[in-house]
Structure 1
Amino acid sequence: MKTRNTAALILALSGFLLLLSCKSDAKQTASESTTATGISKEEGQAFVEDDISAPNILNIAIQSEDHTTLVAAVQAADLENSLVNAGPLMVFAPTNAAFDELPAGSVEDLLKPENKEALANILKYHVTPGNYDREFLKKFKKLGQANDQNVLIEVREDEVYVGGAKIVASIPASNGIIHVVDKVMLPSEE
């Protein structure tokens, strides 16, 4: 009887130690996949799966066939979590065709890791706090963008232009609004 209890105790203890060993390996693997800031690239609000809530700006952009280049740029600049924040945010979202109008090789060059900061600056120039529809934007002369620069607002023949880009559609999101634009807006080099 003592032998059976001892064997059961040894078996239970071995299982416990094995479990601890697996947890230790999991922690090591998780820590190896983190960035320099200690946060995994795929942590944060942008990577939470949610099929119930109204889609946010990032969700809408990801689902749009006309914004695949913009989504690739946002991912290359690691700005996904910025576009899911509570907001409200206004994003002036260039279409794939707008990116295609840039000089040949520009997009590919900006997507390189060494150009991440320049890419982020351009993308932030397309974002501003607020949730204003086209009609309300007509009241503005300029907006302060997320990259700390201003962008001019113009009304031509009842159409709204932001930084020279025409707003061709507007899509409400749970955390703001997306204004689809026909050009990529380039910030001034300061």
Structure 2
Amino acid sequence: MKTKNLLLALSIVGFLSATSCKSAKTEEVNNVKKEVVAKVEEKVQTPNIVEVAVGNENFSTLVAAVKAADLVSTLSLDGPFTVFAPTNDAFAKLPEGTIANLLKTENKATLTSILTYHVVSGKFDAAAVVAAIKANNGAFEVTTVQGGKLVASLDGESVILKDEKGNTSKVIMADVAASNGVIHAIDSVVMPK
């Protein structure tokens, strides 16, 4: 995929180079070429959400769950997505045996539901989340990819998520950039109804 994008960029640059010879606006064309190359290089160099998670040892349980639920290709799509990603410590708070049970083939639908409950369509960095909370009288409800709702609020300067069961989780690391969205690490697993 990265090679395709790079080849496409080089083709566009080649085309623009040929065009620039015939054009009186050589400087303008050169600026466009630079922008195209910069955008493609950025996309090629920035890992997607799954690649970011794989590269961070704090998300190894999440990565194992994403693989077991066959969500790797979905979370590698263009998106954009905002992922509230439970850390390994967050998963460790679940009752003993929960993770092992969820990773079983027969529980794939339940695992998929839980994981997609942590994903919101669109890219919402920390500033956007905080602004939405403040603009909505201190509580902002978002619909997850799973279809359930999460309510974001503030506790001091920390963003808190409340799930449909009334459990809460705190964002402990915000704005981890990915090519197809953003990741916010959370300290507890949130659960749909």
**RMSD across aligned C-alpha pairs, in angstroms?**
1.8
The one-letter amino acid of 1:95's match is T
Measure the CA separation in 2 of the matches of 1:151 and 1:168: 17
Query: How many angstroms apart in 1 are the aligned matches of 2:102 and 2:128?
Result: 33
Q: Secondary structure at the match of 1:66?
A: helix
Cα distance in structure 2, aligned partners of 1:89 and 1:52: 18
SS at match of 1:67: helix
Distance in 2 (CA, whole Å) between partners of 1:121 and 1:185 is: 11
In structure 1, what is the equivalent of residue 101 of structure 2? 109
Residue of structure 2 equivalent to 1:156: 155
Instruction: Output the CA distance in 2 between the equivalents of 1:54 and 1:137.
Output: 23
Gaps of 5+ in 2: 7-42, 134-139, 163-167
Structure possessing the higher radius of gyration over alpha carbons: 1
Q: SS at the partner of 2:188? A: coil
Q: Specify which of 67, 78, 81 is matched with residue 89 of structure 1.
A: 81
Question: Tell me, what secondary structure is at the counterpart of 1:80?
Answer: coil
CA positional deviation for 1:135: 2.3
Q: 1:117-163: CA deviations, max 9, x gaps?
A: 00000000000111112222121411110111111111111211123
| Structure 2 equivalent of residue 144 of structure 1 | 143
Shift of the 132–52 alpha-carbon distance from structure 1 to 2, 3 Å rule, reads closer
Please give the alpha-carbon distance, in whole angstroms, between the structure 1 residues aligned to 2:107 and 2:123.
Answer: 30
Q: Which residue of 2 aligns with 1:174?
A: 179
Give the secondary-structure state (helix, strand or coil) at the position aligned to 1:151: strand
For residues 98 and 69 of structure 1, the distance between their equivalents in structure 2, rounded to whole angstroms, comes to 10
Q: Which has the higher helix share?
A: 2
Task: Give the TM-score taking structure 2 as reference length.
Answer: 0.69
Cα offset for 1:54? 1.2
Q: 1:53: Cα distance to partner?
A: 3.1
| Alpha-carbon distance in structure 1 between the residues aligned to 2:173 and 2:156 | 16
* Superimposed CA distance per residue, residues 24-69 of structure 1 (whole angstroms, 9 cap, x where no aligned partner): xxxxxxxxxxxxxxxxxxxxx7xx9x99431000000001100000
Of the three residues 126, 130, 136, the one matched with 1:134 is: 126
> 2:61 aligns to what?
69
Number of residue equivalences: 141
Q: Which runs of 5+ in 1 are unaligned?
A: 1-44
Q: Which secondary structure does the structure 2 equivalent of 1:115 belong to?
A: helix
Q: Distance in 1 between matches of 2:128 and 2:81?
A: 15
User: What is residue 117 of structure 2 aligned with on the other side?
Assistant: 125
Query: Which whole-Å CA distance do the structure 2 matches of 1:146 and 1:173 have between them?
Result: 18
The residue type paired with residue 54 of structure 1 is T
> What SS is found at the alignment partner of 1:143?
strand
Matched residue type, 1:155? L
Report the counterpart of residue 41 of structure 1 in structure 2. none
